[in-house]
């Protein structure tokens, strides 16, 4: 008896379990179909959608084109101009030698030149003659002290330009002109003092 009642209930419930249409999904499909581009082809309805009940609203699916937006360029049409100009080399601050070293060498060079002028005046007072053709016009006057400083001023300028040169060899040997000039002036001054001390 219990089996007969269960079978009767089962048979009465089974017809009520038919597929109900999904109204929210149908509305979304209809809105999407309305907003799609008219020139796009419409694909056929899938087999799973055909099983819906007859009271569901008809809908269509359209394929959307995934191309570039209107007014934009594709990557293949963008051209970047090629630059053939070689960038100018930049010398960093840490590469340029300090101004303090240049100033120390300048002071040493000008002091050696002043010593050479002093020793020359002493030698001339003792009867010697000036053999440098550039300094000979100034040998008999105190103008020798000013005239002898022209060479060191020029070498100071050359050393400063060498410090900022793009050539690494010149940049690393900027101190040579001032150092060699200082050595020559000291040598000439010592020689002049020896001449001045001779009877």
Print pLDDT tens along the chain (199 aa). 555 665 556 565 444 444 445 565 666 666 666 665 455 555 555 545 545 545 555 556 555 555 555 555 565 666 666 666 666 665 554 455 678 999 999 999 999 999 999 999 999 988 888 888 888 889 888 999 999 999 999 999 999 999 988 999 999 999 999 999 999 999 999 999 998 888 6
Q: Where are the domains of the chain?
A: 99-197
- Rounded Cα distance between 35 and 73, Å, is 25
Whole-angstrom Cα Rg for the chain: 51
pTM over 0.75: no
């Amino acid at each position: 008896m219990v089996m007969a009642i269960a079978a009767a209930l089962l048979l009465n419930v089974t017809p009520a379990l038919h597929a109900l249409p999904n109204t929210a999904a149908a509305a979304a499909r209809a809105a999407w179909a309305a907003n799609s581009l008219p020139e796009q082809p419409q694909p056929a309805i899938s087999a799973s959608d055909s099983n819906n009940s007859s009271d569901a609203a008809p809908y269509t699916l359209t394929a959307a084109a995934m191309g570039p937006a209107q007014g934009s360029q594709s990557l293949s049409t963008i051209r970047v101009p090629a630059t053939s100009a070689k960038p100018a080399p930049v010398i960093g601050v840490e590469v340029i030698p300090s101004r303090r070293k240049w100033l120390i060498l300048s002071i040493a060079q000008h002091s050696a030149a002043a010593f050479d002028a002093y020793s020359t005046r002493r030698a001339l007072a003792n009867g010697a003659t000036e053999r440098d053709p550039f300094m000979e016009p100034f040998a008999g006057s105190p103008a020798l002290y000013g005239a002898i400083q022209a060479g060191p001023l020029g070498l100071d300028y050359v050393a400063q330009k060498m410090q900022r040169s793009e050539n690494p060899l010149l940049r690393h040997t900027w101190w040579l002109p001032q150092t060699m000039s200082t050595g020559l002036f000291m040598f000439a001054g010592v020689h002049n003092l020896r001449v001045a001390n001779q009877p």
